[in-house]
Amino acid sequence: MSAEDRRSLHAFRDYVVKTLDPTYILSHMAPWFKDDEVQHIQAEKNNKGTMEAASLFLKFLLERQEEGWFRGFLDALGHAGYSGLYEAIETWDFQKIESLEEYRSLLKRLQPEFKTTVNPKDILPEISQCLISQECEEIIQVCSNKGLMAGAEKMVECLLRSDKENWPKTLKLALEMEESKFSELWIVDKDAKNVEPKVLEDDEMETSDIQIFYKEESECQNLSQSSSPPSAASPTCTPLKPRNYQLELTLPAKEGKNTLICAPTGCGKTLVSLLICEHHLKKFPQERKGKVVFFAIQLPLYEQQKSIFSDYFEKLGYKVAGISGVTAETVSVEQIVENNDIIILTPQILVNSLRNGTLPSLSVFTLMIFDECHNTGKNHPYNMIMFNYIDQKLGGSSDPLPQVIGLTASVGTGDAKNTKEAMEYICKLCASLDTAVIATVKDNLEELEEVAYKPQKFFRKVESRTTDRFKCIISQLMRETESLAKSIFDELGTVTLENVSQIQNRSFGTQKYEQWIVSVQKACMVVQLPDKDEESRICKALYLYTSHLRKYNDALMINEHARMKDALDYLKDFFADVRSAGFDETEQDLTRRFEEKLKELESVSMDLSNENPKLKDLSFILQEEYHLNPESRTILFVKTRALVDALKKWIEENSELSFLNPGILTGRGKTNQNTGMTLPAQKCALDAFRTDGDKKILIATSVADEGIDIAECNLVILYEYVGNVIRMIQTRGRGRAKGSKCFLLTSNADVIEKEKINIYKENMMNESILRLQTWNEAVFKEKILQIQMQEKFIRDSQAKVEPVPDKENKKLLCRKCKGFACYTADIRVVEDCHYAVVGDAFRKCYVSKLHPKPKTYGHFEKKAKIFCARENCCHDWGIHVKYKTFEIPVIKIESFVVEDIATGAQKLYAKWRDFPIEKIPFDATEMSK
């Protein structure tokens, strides 16, 4: 057993904890474990759970000093049947186990359906090879003693720990053999796996919600519909059968005019774009073909539109292809554009291709279509593309520019306070898109209203709890934690907790407090002391205090909008995670303080008199609406993922509402709390809601704002949920069945007032569009031109001056523990954008862990992630790659504090481009020294 093996086992401990039930191998490890330790581990499992027991087992294991314990551990895994974990630890390659994570996440989400639809006894013989023999025995025992549903729960628990690479597929086959309904939800196809946009430094940085697009009848009528098999399909395509209002929307574009098309969500703008695209391509003579590019912002929308365009246009003899961040590194953008008639792109692909010269200019296209074009502003990729367009237009180039079409449900009004300002805002959007025509439905409004029904809107103001003992207790814990943090600042003597951040008048349980905590954490990262060990201790303590304050704040926000029980469960889960991690003295003290209040918190949370009045009103709305229409379909919008989970539990545990059988839909991105739903899980949730009559309600975050459509949905509830006028139109557009209703439920009068302002702004937007449509087209074009010239002048005058490279050597310190990492003199730039550290010294400062998503990009092979090697830190520093024939660590600057060696001054940088470091190119000859 080498020190490196011990370090690696510690680094990969999370995989072991998730997979291993230590009680199954303890009998094989008798020589290395004392009786009291075995009993302690068994008690930990009985009282707290398997993961806690596994964590304790590893703690004891890593303390072993006796010869042969590591080999004994591997042998015990083999004897017990942990073949996957055995292989992973022996090779320190956890890729196969990591690849199962998305299926574990999916199974967790689908556990309620599994429990009620799967007979564990029927499928156990088929999946027993994926489980430990003792687990199979326990499942049979639970089925006999507690019933099939309890047995199904136990089976899920065991599958979530399975280390067998093939268990998802084996489960699928077993379900299909038994013709189980759950088989339809259990997706194991390769194409169903989650895909990520290209990010070389870190795949886990994504935080934005992703959108899911589902076709509705009016959106895709007659597209790719055929009663004959593919082999018998006619070489000609059935003509599209558009509605009159859709034809009306196409008219300016068919005349070759740059057009912004504004029409309600669900009216079939995709069909409108197909009509425009087909007309455009057909007008070109045979010797000079047109070339169309269609932009979709999000990956699921890109995939959907690519499929629709391919199905329709390939039958007409046109070539269709697509490029997204997923495929960009494996295809030639230049060849795809050259060899196809229609190209579907995520916009950043074109931005990069114009920037690096892969495509010379936008003149290679004859038509550009921007979906969700209201995003064309600031530094959005749409605007970056149109900067190129406008520069070419105003630069007097003789090359022809493509026609531009924008599609949106709402152009918005920005910060406009009156119609004049709103008209100016819309003119700026038109100038950004170079569109002098705004197309809306006027002549066929009745037909449009038959398809895109505008739901009736209701506002419900409810009162908050009159007394809130839970909030009082948690607030007291927060004050104590703040005092502990203040005492640390008192030790420093140079700055106080109060003046470390500019954010004032903060209150517990608010978004403003969350912002304050984040700003304090950043300030704590650059605290400096002469004694570096003391600096590390203080920075880490402040990090822990602020992290706990953040969790308490989250719990108060859950308590405000859901049950006290849900807020308390949230905190219990957090402290369980704290216990299973490093659990140093600071964490032990904070945990003790919480546990001293736990009994009182549990008592308060179980008191029925403390029920949240908002939930009473929400229950009343749901019961009333389902009494009037038992077939109602509801989308309940909430602000956070934690609230999604809390309201799901509340509905399931409420005897009057449990018939709703709620589904959930959240974003895919990672937040400070957790990772979101995988793409397959999102699709499963939507499929279940659309096709399963028992799933009567979908609880969703902003991921469902745009892109999804469920024609049967007739009730939308906005639960403390409000945004700008564009979001209001999008969320309201989720309910489009006749007789639809939209409720806004809040205890905050300001929220209702904001939504009323949005309604006013929507009317102002519509009025502004009508006024602009009365303008003479030449006058509108001149207005657009003046805005473009003014914006270009501002853009050019604000062009960033290249900073002078800083050649002074500096230190990079870990942003979490302030431990030394490397010198800037050891950093080399690889292929202009990746920052690698050379030299042997840096290797001692980090530990590596197999990358969960190894990929190859050009000359790079992403192999592992690297973390700070200091005890109880493990801060994420970047990745380990194979570049050509060289193994090199690539770091991300946001993981470090930069310290000036001469002055000791410390700075934080979010991106490498913000850090004016001297860029020393990577030199292969250095590696051979």
Residues contributing to the annotated binding site? 814, 817, 868, 873
Burial of 481 (0-12, 13-18, 19+ CB in 10 A): buried
What stretches of 687-740 adopt beta strand conformation (E)?
697-700, 715-719
Q: Are 773 and 489 in contact (CB under 8 A)?
A: no
Q: Give dist(CA 795, CA 391) in Å, integer.
A: 11
Residue 12 CA to residue 92 CA, distance in Å, equals 8
Residue 708 region by backbone torsions, left for phi larger than 0, else alpha for psi between -120 and 50, else beta: beta
> Which alpha helices (DSSP H) does 147-227 contain, by range?
148-161, 167-177, 217-220
Closest CA to 554 of 513, 503, 614: 513
For residue 665, the cross-strand partners are: 700
CA distance 284 to 291: 10
Closest CA to 196 of 188, 180, 207: 207
Q: What is the DSSP annotation of 540-572?
A: HHHHHHHHHHHHHHHHHHHHHHS-HHHHHHHHH
Can you list the alpha helix ranges (DSSP code H) found in 607-678?
613-628, 641-653
- Taken as a whole, the chain contains a residue count of 929
The answer to whether 554 and 672 are in contact (CB under 8 A) is no
Per the listing, tokens 């049967």 go with 712
Say if CB 434 and CB 258 are below 8 A apart. yes
Q: Interhelix angle for 585-606 vs 469-492, to 10°?
A: 160
Task: Determine the Cα–Cα distance for residues 586 and 724; give it in Å rounded to an integer.
Answer: 42
H or E element, residue 599: helix 585-606
Which strands form 697-700's sheet, in the order they lie side by side?
A: 456-461, 741-746, 715-719, 634-637, 697-700, 663-665
Q: Mention every residue, 6+ apart, whose C-beta is less than 8 A from residue 540.
A: 586, 816, 817, 872, 873
Nearest to 238 by CA among 222, 216, 256, 252: 222
Return d(Cα 827, Cα 917) in angstroms, integer: 9
For residue 399, the 8-state DSSP code is S
Give the three-class secondary structure for 304: helix
Over the range 503-521, which residues count as b (16 or more CB within 10 Å of their CB) and which as e?
eeeeebbeeebbebbeebb
Our CA dihedral for 506, 508, 509, 510, rounded to 10 degrees, sits at 0
CB distance 121 to 140 below 8 Å: yes
Annotated binding site for Zn(2+): 814, 817, 868, 873
CB atoms within 10 A of CB 792: 16
How far apart, in whole angstroms, are the C-alpha atoms of residue 287 and residue 274?
Answer: 23
Taking each helix axis as running N to C, give the angle between helix 50-62 and helix 3-11, from 0 to 180 degrees, rounded to the nearest 10. 160
Enumerate the β-bridge partners of residue 846: 868
The gap between the terminal CA atoms of the chain, to the nearest Å, is 31
Q: 733-769 in b/e burial notation, b at 16+ Cβ within 10 A? A: bbbbbeebbbbbbbbeeebbebbebbeebbebbeebb
Q: Residue 224's closest CA among 236, 213, 237, 214?
A: 237
